[in-house]
Every structure is written in structure tokens, then in C-alpha cells.
């Protein structure tokens, strides 16, 4: 088939050009989609070409991160696993063993071994050579008290160096806070690209409107239409997952995430936390050694202890064994983390840290002087948006449903990678020939906005403005896209007018 005919036959999948736009004006006045379609197509094209590199990097790094959980178990098997014994040592003795080997820094928290055959983690803060936002995890055999090693750890999920490195790569390309803009830009546009592509694919004029034609690629197609068929069909299957990744990714982004936090605060939907304040008569107990743990008694686990985790009464601190027992009495089962008091007048906080289904996120505060529970927070009592945020983040990071969750994320990442590659391939297959000058697609024809019916245009402008405010990087980049597209349209019309005068 000649090139000109092949290009003409694919016009149903492209934005209308200036010559053909006039013939569509009557239809555009009657239906909103006829008027919106050129704009949606152009937006999808621009976003696909210009934002796709960011999306591609996000997808590749996300694919790597999805496999990090399983890789972590293999790489750090020595630190994480021990032969299961019949009896575990008191938690205070495990902490004392870790402290004896690592007197540097301060003990910030303790994670008792959650399952038989797993190690206890003693988390040290302020350790020289460990970044301030990280902690040093000392791994202790809960049956013998021997040390299995020490590794930097990060975040609530206790990510070890491999997963931490991949997490930073996915989140900010190891560029710090400025690097987070790349991932926020990708998350801001992902739902727009997916939604626009889905609308264009479903709204295409086709003789076969069966579900099979939308959900499965056309094996009889060739060339660009074959690529489009795979691009559209896979996009239909992946759309819901891509919407989800975009929405959850924005929840902890810099700018859009800040607006989401403001909205949750305004609606009273913040994540609750237990109060760490203790009664004044107990404020002097056991907190004086928080910053000076290495010098406190009880390093051998026989006396004193307080923040060192020993049992003793020398400092007036009941110790981590009684604190853990008090939390157990309130129904907090493994896995848990015990956060030590941060100063005078503050309590221990014991919180469940299971991010897999069903989630365990209950927490209690325990008075260090009396061992009594002073406050309780139950996940069942969380506000709706707080629960949804927790579920969404854990789904996004692959922890909510464990291995199944991680496989699903990997499949979504692969789908996004192929969608981007197919999109660029279609662009290449539409590359200029000797009969077409080099161009970056075709600009939106003049008058496209004016052809949109007011009942559609006014709500559309309001929605775009609201979304641009809520998702700032989307709003700024969209304005830039529209400006570029307008300039390209003006230049194209001037060239066309100059050509007409020359004729």
C-alpha cells in the first residue's frame, strides 16, 4: 500500500488535521466527544512523547523494587534467619547483648523476633557513619543471644541496604529531595495518560464493538495498526492498576501529597497516634538515661537498664520485658516494635508493624515508671481516609498481599514499559517521509476549543483548574504543553498561509 494511503487509513487513530477539521464542525457542535477528541488525542500524544521518559524510568525502577523483598531475604539470610530453638531469652538480655557489642549511639527501638527462626532487631540511632534518617539494626539470635550482624535500616518497613537503595532509586534517583520531582511528575501524568488513552481506544469508530475487540489485540493487523492494537488492548487491562499507582504515588509526593495531607486534616481524617505523655509523678522515672545509655547499669541484663532494656529497678524503669508484657495483655501480637521514651515525661510506645493482610497497626503507650498502659490506638478505629491511605501505600509498595502483591506490581510495571515502547514505535511508524516535512505531530486545529459545547467546556475548565491546583506539577506542565502546542499551531498556519500565497 502506498505511504499516502496507509497514512490516510489510520486517520481514525490520529487527531484531525486543519483541512479535515471543518468537515467535523457540525458533528462537534452536536456531541461533546467529537469536539473533545482532538484535544484528548493531542494531550495523550504530547504526554506520551514528553512525559513517557519519566514514566519509563519509574516503571523500570518500580520493577526492580518489586523484586527487592524476595532478594532481601536471600542476600541477608544470615542476619535474618537462625536455627529455631525451644526457648527464647528475655528480651532485655537480647538487648543487652546487642548493646555490649555496639555501645555507640542510642537505642531507639526494639523489634522482637516475630516468628520462630527469625532474629531480634535492636535499632540504634545517632550511630557514626549511618545517615541521620537511618538507624543501625543489630541482629540478635533470640535463643542464644549471639549477634548475627549489623546493617543500616530505613523506614517503617525496616528496609535493609539493598531495598533502601532501590527505594531511593525509584523515589528520587538518588538525587535527594530535588529528585522527588521526577517521580511526582510521572505520578501526576500517569492517570492522565492512561485515562486519555482508554477514552481514545474505547471511543474509536470501529465496525466491531464487541468486548473482545477492545480487550484483545487484532492478530490480523499489520504495521502501525498492529502496534496500536497491542498498545490499546494491554492499556485496557492495565488501566485500573495504572490509575491506582498514580493515586497512591501522589499520596506521599512533595506538592500533591502536601495538598492531600491538608485535605485529610481539614476533614479530620488524619492517622491517629497514641499520646506519649505520662503522669507528672512518674516523669522522673527511667528517662534520665535516654541519651546516655552506654553508661547506665544493666548492660549484662541483670540489673538496672531502663532504656538499655534490662529488667531493673535501679533506674526506676520497668524495662522492655514488662513493657512488652503490658502490650501483649492489650492484644498486641507479633510483629511489634517497641519505641523507647524520648525524654522525661514520655512513655514507651509499642506498635504493631504488620503491613500485610490483615493489617496490624494497633499501638499502646506504656508508662516507664509503672508499666501501665496509658493510651491505646486501634486500627479498627482509624478514620476511613486514614485506613484507605494505609491500604493504598502498602499495596503500592508490595507489602499488603506479600508475594502476590509484588508479582502484580511487577506485571503492571512490565505493562507500562511495553505501552511506552509501543507508543514510541507508533510514533516512529508515523515518521515523516519524503512527502511530509519533519514535524512533531500536528497541532490542534484552530477553533477546536470554540467547538466544544458550553455545558461541556465550562465544567471542563473548572475541573482542569481544580486538578491543576491539587496536582501542581501536572498543572504547570500542562500549561507548558498547551503553550507549546499553541505556538506550533500558529507556526503551522503561517507556513500554510505562506505556501498558499506562493502558489
User: What's CA 112's distance to the chain center, in Å?
Assistant: 28
Residue 489 exposure: Cα atoms within 13 Å on the Cβ side: 17
pLDDT, residue 442, reads 54
Q: Are 98 and 147 in contact (CB under 8 A)?
A: yes
pLDDT tens column, 363-378: 999 999 999 999 999 9
Find, among 72, 82, 103, the residue nearest to 146 by Cα.
82
> Which stretches does DSSP call E strand in 353-403?
363-366, 373-377
C-alpha cell recorded at residue 225:
495498526
How far apart are the C-alpha atoms of 114 and 81, rounded to whole Å?
11
pLDDT value, residue 286 = 43
Cβ neighbors of 59 (< 8 A, separation 6 or more) are 413, 414, 416, 417, 420
Encode 418-444: b = buried (16+ Cβ within 10 Å), e = exposed: bbbebbbbbbebbeeeeeeeeeebbbb
> Residue 259's pLDDT is what?
93
What per-residue confidence (pLDDT) applies to 446?
56
Determine the pLDDT at residue 41: 85
| Domain ranges, ordered by start, for the chain | 31-79+160-271+401-433+446-454, 83-143, 315-382
Which three-class secondary structure state does DSSP give residue 89?
Answer: coil
Q: Which residues pair with 336 in a beta bridge?
A: 352
- Span 80-125, pLDDT tens digits: 999 999 999 999 999 999 999 999 999 999 999 999 999 999 999 9
Residue 141 to residue 97: CA distance in whole angstroms: 10
Query: What is the rounded CA–CA span in Å between residue 432 and residue 440?
Result: 10
- Rounded Cα distance between 447 and 457, Å, is 13
Q: How far apart, in whole angstroms, are the C-alpha atoms of residue 134 and residue 232?
A: 43
User: Is the CB of residue 151 less than 8 Å from the CB of residue 137?
Assistant: yes
Q: Which three cell numbers stand for residue 46?
A: 504530547
Nearest to 308 by CA among 282, 289, 288, 323: 289
- Output the average pLDDT for the chain: 84
Model pLDDT, residue 283: 52
The pLDDT of residue 282? 53
What's the Rg (C-alpha) of the chain?
29
Burial of 417 (0-12, 13-18, 19+ CB in 10 A): middle
Closest residue by Cα to residue 164 from 93, 64, 241: 64
Report phi then psi at 107, rounded to 5: -75, 120
- Locate 161 and state its grid cell: 541496604
Say how many C-beta atoms besides its own lie within 10 A of residue 265's C-beta: 10
Query: ∠306-307-313 over CA atoms, to 5°?
Result: 5
- Residues in the chain where the model's pLDDT stays below 50: 1-29, 284-314
Amino acid at each position: 500500500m502506498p505511504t499516502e494511503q496507509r497514512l490516510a487509513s489510520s486517520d481514525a487513530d490520529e487527531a484531525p488535521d486543519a483541512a479535515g477539521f471543518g468537515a467535523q464542525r457540525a458533528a462537534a457542535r452536536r456531541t461533546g466527544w467529537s469536539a473533545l477528541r482532538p484535544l484528548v488525542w493531542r494531550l495523550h500524544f504530547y504526554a506520551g512523547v514528553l512525559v513517557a521518559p519519566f514514566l519509563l524510568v519509574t516503571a523500570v525502577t518500580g520493577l526492580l523494587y518489586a523484586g527487592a523483598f524476595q532478594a532481601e531475604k536471600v542476600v541477608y539470610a544470615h542476619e535474618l534467619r537462625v536455627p529455631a530453638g525451644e526457648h527464647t531469652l528475655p528480651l532485655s538480655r537480647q538487648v543487652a547483648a546487642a548493646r555490649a557489642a555496639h555501645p555507640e549511639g542510642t537505642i531507639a527501638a526494639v523489634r522482637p523476633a516475630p516468628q520462630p527462626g527469625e532474629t531480634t532487631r535492636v535499632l540504634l540511632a545517632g550511630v557514626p557513619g549511618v545517615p541521620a534518617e537511618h538507624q543501625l539494626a543489630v541482629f540478635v539470635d533470640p535463643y542464644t543471644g549471639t549477634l548475627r550482624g549489623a546493617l543500616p535500616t530505613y523506614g517503617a518497613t525496616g528496609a535493609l541496604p539493598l531495598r533502601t537503595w532501590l527505594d531511593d532509586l525509584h523515589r528520587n534517583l538518588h538525587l535527594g529531595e530535588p529528585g522527588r520531582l521526577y517521580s511526582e511528575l510521572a505520578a501526576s501524568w500517569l492517570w492522565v495518560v492512561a485515562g486519555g488513552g482508554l477514552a481514545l481506544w474505547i471511543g474509536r469508530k470501529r465496525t466491531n464493538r464487541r468486548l473482545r475487540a477492545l480487550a484483545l489485540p487484532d492478530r490480523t493487523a499489520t504495521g502501525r495498526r498492529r502496534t496500536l492494537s497491542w498498545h490499546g488492548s494491554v492499556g485496557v487491562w492495565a488501566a485500573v492498576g495504572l490509575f491506582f499507582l498514580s493515586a497512591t504515588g501522589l499520596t506521599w509526593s512533595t506538592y500533591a501529597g502536601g495538598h492531600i495531607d491538608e485535605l485529610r486534616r481539614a476533614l479530620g481524617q488524619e492517622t491517629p497516634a497514641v499520646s506519649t505523655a505520662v503522669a507528672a509523678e512518674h516523669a522522673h522515672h527511667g528517662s534520665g538515661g535516654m541519651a546516655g545509655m552506654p553508661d547506665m547499669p544493666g548492660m549484662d541484663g541483670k540489673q538496672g537498664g531502663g532504656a538499655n532494656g534490662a529488667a531493673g529497678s535501679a533506674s526506676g524503669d520497668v524495662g522492655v520485658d514488662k513493657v512488652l508484657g503490658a502490650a501483649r495483655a492489650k492484644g498486641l501480637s507479633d510483629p511489634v516494635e517497641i519505641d523507647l521514651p524520648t525524654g522525661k515525661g514520655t512513655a514507651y510506645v509499642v506498635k504493631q508493624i504488620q503491613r500485610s493482610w490483615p493489617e496490624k497497626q494497633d499501638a499502646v503507650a506504656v508508662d516507664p515508671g509503672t508499666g501501665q498502659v496509658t493510651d491505646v490506638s486501634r486500627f479498627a478505629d482509624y478514620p476511613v481516609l486514614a485506613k484507605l491511605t494505609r491500604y493504598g501505600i502498602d499495596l503500592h509498595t508490595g507489602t499488603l498481599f506479600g508475594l502476590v502483591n509484588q508479582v502484580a506490581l511487577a506485571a503492571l510495571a512490565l505493562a507500562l514499559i511495553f505501552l511506552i515502547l509501543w507508543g514510541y514505535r507508533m510514533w516512529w511508524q508515523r515518521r515523516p517521509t519524503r512527502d511530509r516535512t519533519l514535524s512533531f505531530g500536528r497541532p490542534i486545529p484552530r477553533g477546536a476549543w470554540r467547538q466544544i459545547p458550553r455545558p461541556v467546556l465550562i465544567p471542563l475548565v473548572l475541573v482542569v483548574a481544580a486538578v491543576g491546583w491539587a496536582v501542581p506539577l501536572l498543572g504547570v506542565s500542562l500549561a507548558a504543553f498547551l503553550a507549546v502546542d499553541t505556538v506550533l499551531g500558529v507556526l503551522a498556519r503561517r507556513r500554510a498561509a505562506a505556501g498558499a500565497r506562493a502558489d
